[in-house]
A and B are shown apart, each in its own frame.
Chain A
Amino acid sequence: MLFPTLTFGLFFLAVYALTWAVRGSNEWRKILLLLASWVFYGAWDWRFVALLIFSAVLNWGTAALIARTDEEWEAGRRKALLVFGVAANLAILGFFKYYDFFLEQLGVLLHQFGFERDMPLLEIILPVGVSFFTFQGMSYLIDVARRKVPPASLLDMTLLMSFFPHLVAGPIVRASDLIPQFRQTPRLERGMVAMGLLLIVWGLFKKAVVASELSVNLVDPIFFDPSAHSSLDLVIAAYGYAVQIYCDFSAYSDMAIGLAALLGYRFPFNFNQPYRARSLQDFWRRWHISLSSWLRDYLYISLGGSRGGVWKACRNILLTMLLGGFWHGAKWTFLIWGGLHGIVQVMETLWRKFRPQHWPLMPAAIAIFITFHIVTLGWIFFRAETFDGAIAFLGGIGRGDWGATIATPLMIGLILFGMMIHFTPPTLAQGIALRLRSVPALLLGLGTGAVILIIDAMRFEGVAPFIYYQF
C-alpha cells in the first residue's frame, strides 16, 4: 500500500475517523492503530506481520528483563541480555538481508581456491522495512540498558515498531520520542495540522511529479544502458538521480511526518536541505537525520567515538560509514558508497585538525559545490546495479561525448527545481503553516483539494515504489 495512491487515501481516512472516534480511551485508540498498522503491512505480505510481532515481543521482553537488573550488582547480566537482544535483532536482519550475499561471496572465494560448490541459496524475500524496524528495536534495547528510557508496555512497544506512517521507510523514530506520546491521549493543534497537511501535499508533489518523471523518463533508461548514451546524458542522469533520490526519500518522510501529525503524533525531522551542506559531515546532519543520528549514537559512540585521539576517531568514522553503507543492502556498490563518504569525512576530520591556522577557510559556495559533487559521485555507485555498471557509467562520462541528449526542457527544469528548493529559507514551510492555521476549514479544504488536483493532473501514470522500500 503506497502513500500516494487512492487505496492508501481511503485506508487513512478510515483510520483517521476510527481513531479519533474512540479518543475517549487511549488504550483502544492504540489497539486500533496497531491493527491498522498490521493491515497496512499485511497488504504487502501477511506472512511478515508475524515477523513484526515476533520482533516487537522479543525486544519488549528483553528490555523488561534488562530493566529488572540491578545497575550496580548485575552489570554482567544486563550486558549479557543486551548482547542477546542486539544479536537477535541482527540475526533477523542478517538472515533476511545478507544470508544469500555472504553465501555468494563464499562461493566466489571457494571457486578461487579451486573448490566448486553449489551454495544453498534461499532466495529469501526481503521483508519491507526490516532494516528500519530492527534498528528501532535495537535502539530501544540500548536506551533501556543505558537508563535513557523506561521500559514500555507490550502495546506501546508493538505500536512503536509497527506504527504504519514510519513502518516501511522511516524516519527511525526512537522510543524516547514516541513512547511518551503513546502514554497520553494525543491532542490536535491547528499549527501541527497545517504543517502536517503541507508536508503531505509537498511530499506528494515531490514523489508523484518530480521523482517519478525523472526516474521513468531520464534516470532509469540511462542507468540501464550507459553505453548507449552520450557523456552529456550521463552527467544529466547523475544530477537527475541526485534530485530523484532526494525527492523520493524526503517525500516519504514528509508524508510520514504529516500523516502522523493528523493522528496527533510528532515525528522528528529527517531531512534539512541536504544539498546545501558545506561538507560531508554537514551533509549527514541534513540527510536521513534519523539514520545518521542512530549511527552516531549507537555505533560511532559505541566504537569509542572521538575518545582516544584523532586516528581512532577516523577509524570509527570509516567503520560507521562502511556499516551505514552496508545497512542499505547486501551489495558491494553500497559498501563503496559508504566507504567514499567515510574516506571524505576522515579527510575533513584530518583537515580540521591539521589545517595551518593562517590558511583561509573555503568560501561557502565552493564548499557546497564540491560537497554536492562528491555526494553525486557517491549516488552513481548507490544507483548502479553492479560495480561494473558504475565504472561503465563513469567511463562513459570520461568519453567526452558532449553532443546530443535525451533530456527534455521539462527534465532540466525539474532538476533545477530540485536543486533550487535547497536554497529557499529553511523555515519557509513553517512560515506558511503559521499562516494556514488561521484559515477557515472550508477554505483550507478547498485549497488542499485544488493543490492535490493540480498534482494529480501532472503525476506520472502509476506510482513506482519508494526507493527506500528496498532497504
Chain B
Amino acid sequence: MSDEHHPSPVDLPGEPDTHGRPLVWTSVTIAVATLFLGLTNAISLNGWAVELAPTETSARIVTVTESWEETTEAIGLAAPRAWLHARWKQLQALRFEGQDPAAE
C-alpha cells in the first residue's frame, strides 16, 4: 500500500506545540469568543431569531433575544458594532465624481 498523503494547511512548519492541554485551550477560546459575541452582537442574534419559522417556541426565543438586544443597547455593549456598521455604510455610500448619490 502506498502512503499517499496530501499536505494540509493546518500542519504548521516546525515542531508541534505540545505544552498545555490543547483541548481545554481550544474550548476556552471558543467559549470566550462566543460569550464576547453574545454580549456585543445581540442585534445579529435577534436577526437570526426573527427569521426562524413562526412557532410558539420561536416566538419565545424572539421575546428573549429582543429583550437581550434592548439590554445590551442600554448598557452600551452594542455601541462598538453600531459604530463599525455606520462606518461601513459610509464606505458603501462613497461615489466617484459624477455618479448619482447612494439611495437612502
Contacts and interface: CB of A to CB of B under 8 A. Distances in A.
Given A6-B45, A456-B44, A193 B25 contact: yes
B14 A269 contact: no
A147 B1 CA distance: 6
A191 B19 CA distance: 11
Given A148-B2, A177-B5, A445-B29, A430 B91 contact: no
Interface in B1-43: 1-14, 16-18, 20, 22-37, 40-41
Interface string A1-13: 0000111000001
A176 interface: yes
Contacts of A177: 4-6
Nearest to B52: A7
A434 B92 CA distance: 35
A6 B34 CA distance: 11
B32 A20 contact: no
A440 to B, nearest CB: 8
A441 B12 contact: no
A174 B6 contact: yes
B81 A409 contact: no
B8 A434 contact: no
A409 B94 contact: yes
A434 B12 contact: yes
B5 A176 contact: yes
Contact of A445 (B3, B33, B41, B94): B33
Interface residues of B, number: 52
A42 interface: no
Majority SS at the chain A contact face: helix
Interface in A238-263: 257-258, 261-262
Nearest to A266: B8
Interface in A391-406: 404-406
A125 to B, nearest CB: 21
A293 interface: yes
B10 A257 contact: yes
Given A6-B45, A148-B4, A441 B28 contact: yes
Contacts of B84: 453-454, 457-458
Interface in A430-471: 430, 433-434, 437-438, 441-442, 444-446, 448-450, 452-454, 456-458
A217 B6 CA distance: 38
A106 interface: no
Contacts of B25: 190, 193, 441
B16 A191 contact: yes
A150 interface: yes
A257 B1 CA distance: 26
Contact of B32 (A188, A195, A258, A441): A441
Contacts of B55: none
Interface string A178-212: 00000000011111111111010000000000000
Contacts of A13: 30, 34
Given A257-B8, A453-B40, A453-B81, A188 B26 contact: yes
Given A177-B6, A408-B99, A453-B36, A16 B12 contact: no
Interface of B: 1-14, 16-18, 20, 22-37, 40-41, 44-45, 48, 80-81, 84-85, 88, 91-92, 94-96, 98-99, 102
8 contacts: A189-B18, A199-B10, A213-B92, A268-B6, A408-B92, A449-B40, A453-B36, A458-B85
Given A149-B1, A266-B11, A408-B94, 4 more contacts: A23-B23, A190-B22, A257-B9, A410-B91
